[in-house]
Structure 1
Amino acid sequence: MTDLPERLADAFRLIRDVPDYPTPGVLFRDITPVLADPTAFGTVVEAMAEHARSADVVVVVEARGFLVGAAVAVAAGVGVVPVRKAGKLPRVAARRDYELEYGTATLELPEGCIEPGARAYVVDDVLATGGTLRASCELIEQVGATVTGIGVLLELTALAGRDRLPGRSVHSLLEG
């Protein structure tokens, strides 16, 4: 059995670069092959769960964050709560509008799933410009909980998303 850094390196080799997707000039990083490989996915979950164990709940960001974060929550032995796009929840505790690279969007947190004072660890697949993760953290704090940290599989450092998350503990497994 290889050690964790070697297993992570093996997992990251599976990430595919897809040029000009979803629009010309964008280089999309496709993590789907990592999710499809049980060894690679297990390695990623193991590494991310280490930071989530001190939380009461893992908050996951739609949509690929659901896949990664739900597995991280199970491995960490905590619950999972989704942050959804507007209009997807029957009962909403908090709503936040935020800026995207190409417009605006709205995220919502479900009612009755995060108690005031709870410790939440936020998980998403990729940290790009930071807008979605920032809005997610603000939703958690809006309901009186504390964000213990943010975990991402891949951080696109050239987009400086971490700069939009000042004072937050960000754990990225890979930078690209």
Structure 2
Amino acid sequence: MTSPHQHNQQVATIFRSMAERLAAQRANPYRVRAYRKAADTIEALEEDIADVVARKALEDIEGVGRDLADKIEEFLKTGTIQAYEVLRTPLPDAVKAWTQLPGLSESLVAYLYTRLHITTLNDLERLVRSHMLRTVPGFSGSEERLLEAILASQQQSHVRKAEEAP
């Protein structure tokens, strides 16, 4: 059996985690702030959030709009929030390895993968060649050095595949 306010704590914890993950992906700062504010407000409630849902009064809570209300209801029905599960999904190892390339931090790689849907080295190469990477906040490296590193990495990958072939 859940204790009173346990739901509040669970929802607040999830919203804080979502805020941190969104911030790492350089999501809209207003969205990040909305999750943090809602987490603080829900945690401070004197009433269990499930009771607020039963009264259909979620949107009366300061900082909780329709989107967050839907997520709270989803959590109470299913025990999880799909958007949170998506955010928690780790980057594939091949994508995580991009942090070894010059000018690419872990948060920038996460942003490129999750927000811009750059999923392969070929995608990354196209982005660099288009000179659009320089418009992405947080990239301060040399596009030329990055392109050289991408091409070298692709070459190593082709060599490994050729060696593995029968």
TM-score (norm 1): 0.21
Q: Which has more radius of gyration?
A: 2
Relative to total residues, which structure has the larger helix share, 1 or 2? 2
TM-score (norm 2): 0.22
